[in-house]
Amino acid sequence: MKKTSKNPITNKNYQIPEILDDSLGINNFLSRNNGKPVVVVQGLGFVGAVMSIVCANALNAEYAVIGTDLPSESSYWKIASINDGFFPVVSSDPKVEEYYLKTKKKDNFYATYDNFAYQFADVVIVDINLDVQKESSSDYGLSGFNVDLSSFKLAIRDIGQNCKENVLILIETTVPPGTTKIATEIIESEYIKRGLSIDKVKIGHSYERVMPGPNYIDSIQNFYRVYSGINKISADSVENFLRTIIKTDEYPLTRLGNTNSTEMSKVLENSYRAMNISFIVEWSRFAEEAGVNLYEVVNAIRMRPTHKNIMLPGIGVGGYCLTKDPLLASWSRQNINGDGNEGLMMSEMAVSTNDKMPSYAFNFLKSFYGDNFLKGKRVQLLGVSYISGVGDTRFTPVEIFYKELVKNECDIYLHDPYVSYWEELGLVVNQDLNTLNNDIDIVVFSTGHSEYANNKNLIKQLGKLDNLLIYDTIGILSDKEIYTLSKNHTVKVLGRGDI
């Protein structure tokens, strides 16, 4: 049987070629883009796909851009879709579709699975994933984890076996500090095998600060960048390249001393944020115990410029970065850079604490109904995405909450204005607030989408029902809304002990 790969957005099936040779396609594309410098983006995920169209619409250069990914069931559809007229990332940022259509018009963006492409590249941008294998304990807290660099190393070797001698390799993947040095050793050993000069190796590291959502493109093109190179020539080459795709006059570049530094900078950024979130977890419980409205308190504290970054309580942390980057750092300290023993305990603890947040949030339901009386309750979840304003369900804390509800034999209804299909769980999600089920017992505000805030219709709709438990896990309800809803419902807000 022939293997296929399905685009989950369009549902279109693409047949994976049996003979993996796309040299003709690549050659044709390059001859149509004769004379343009070639940028190959390795990895067509949330970063790589968007990075490709940013490069293909560079501010002051004309590139021929080739995106590469694997010809696997889970990835091939991205390659085929790009060439077929469908961009593989859905976004609330209209610029994403606009940029993609521009590349179609200019015909300067092509996707392939064939490493034949690397030999033409002037720049290769590495945007492949590097995951952490987590082990979780029964309450979803972290109990152990591992990082496996082997696929990453293979991808780098693939470049080294095929690239031009004077290519610039720019690693954007979030990696354990020290990884670019490992990549450099791999590239150098391939250069030696191929009789190329290792003095010519140019490798840099620069991390993106991509935020899926309404400013997706701007988060690449109009934002501060940090970069480095394995030597001065590499760093200069990265700088020259970044200047062609980023508005560096408004968002100046920052060069750091070595590649360990930029790698560390990225995971430190995200660890800082993860830690800030985890810090407030204990205080949420404390506030509930002490009759305090923690939202009110945090907002009062945020008036101080030195305390602006203090976080609000919530249901938990999701997404691809904050849930793993502190672990990449700790793993590096243990396995690459450190003395082989000590990790980063506080950063690991932050991840572990954050991982437990959804089940802590869930515990309220258990304590409210008693262990056995939750069974059969009909629960409406408002929001399944991990963050407001975005349809991204990767590692969403709502998933753990949902699984707890399933374990307790609840009937669950899903709503999210940004998600029609919850990929990780294979579930259809209602996107229309006007068609919520009325026959429910519990309503959970689980994502802070603006559609749920100050929504008079929604409050009116809920007001018509009787005797609900309304559980706001993200502090989206105003005091006035809580007052209105409390007339015929029980309202509970996570982190508030004053109601």
Chain residues in the site for a second copy (CB under 8 A): 177-178, 209, 224, 226, 254, 256-258, 260-261, 264-265, 268-269, 271-273, 275, 278-279, 281-283, 285-287, 289-293, 296-298, 300-301, 303-310, 329, 332-333, 337-339, 342, 344-347, 349, 353, 498
Closer residue to a second copy, CB minimum distance, 304 or 464:
304
β-pair partners for 226 = 207, 254
Tell me the C-alpha distance between 385 and 429, whole Å.
11
C-beta separation of 135 from 129 below 8 A: no
Tell me the C-alpha distance between 208 and 222, whole Å.
11
C-beta separation of 99 from 89 below 8 A: no
Closer residue to a second copy, CB minimum distance, 286 or 421:
286
C-beta separation of 492 from 471 below 8 A: yes
Tell me the C-alpha distance between 450 and 460, whole Å.
17
Closer residue to a second copy, CB minimum distance, 272 or 413:
272
Tell me the C-alpha distance between 85 and 83, whole Å.
6
Closer residue to a second copy, CB minimum distance, 23 or 486:
486
Closer residue to a second copy, CB minimum distance, 180 or 237:
180
Go through the chain and tell me how many residues it has: 499
Q: How far is the CB of 416 from a second copy (least distance, A)?
A: 24
Task: Copy the structure tokens of residue 401.
Answer: 């909450």
Query: Considering only CA atoms, which of 135, 149, 176, 209 is closest in space to residue 325?
Result: 176
Helix axes 259-289, 325-332, angle to 10 degrees: 120
Tell me the C-alpha distance between 429 and 228, whole Å.
43
How many Cα atoms sit within 13 Å of 143 on the Cβ side? 6
Q: How far is the CB of 47 from a second copy (least distance, A)?
A: 17
Q: How far is the CB of 85 from a second copy (least distance, A)?
A: 36
Q: How far is the CB of 476 from a second copy (least distance, A)?
A: 19
Closer residue to a second copy, CB minimum distance, 39 or 336:
336
Closer residue to a second copy, CB minimum distance, 89 or 344:
344
Query: How many CB atoms are located within 10 Å of the residue 265 CB?
Result: 17
Tell me the C-alpha distance between 395 and 403, whole Å.
13
C-beta separation of 187 from 160 below 8 A: yes
Closer residue to a second copy, CB minimum distance, 161 or 335:
335
Query: What is the separation of C-alpha 471 from the centre of its chain, rounded to a whole number of angstroms?
Result: 27
C-beta separation of 333 from 344 below 8 A: yes
Residue 453 burial by CB count (10 A; 0-12/13-18/19+): exposed, middle or buried?
middle
Closer residue to a second copy, CB minimum distance, 326 or 417:
326
Q: How far is the CB of 479 from a second copy (least distance, A)?
A: 10
Helix axes 345-369, 259-289, angle to 10 degrees: 30
Q: How far is the CB of 483 from a second copy (least distance, A)?
A: 14
Q: How far is the CB of 44 from a second copy (least distance, A)?
A: 27
Q: How far is the CB of 92 from a second copy (least distance, A)?
A: 20
Q: How far is the CB of 445 from a second copy (least distance, A)?
A: 21
Tell me the C-alpha distance between 223 and 208, whole Å.
9
Q: How far is the CB of 191 from a second copy (least distance, A)?
A: 24
Closer residue to a second copy, CB minimum distance, 64 or 344:
344
* Extended strands (E) in 49-97: 64-68
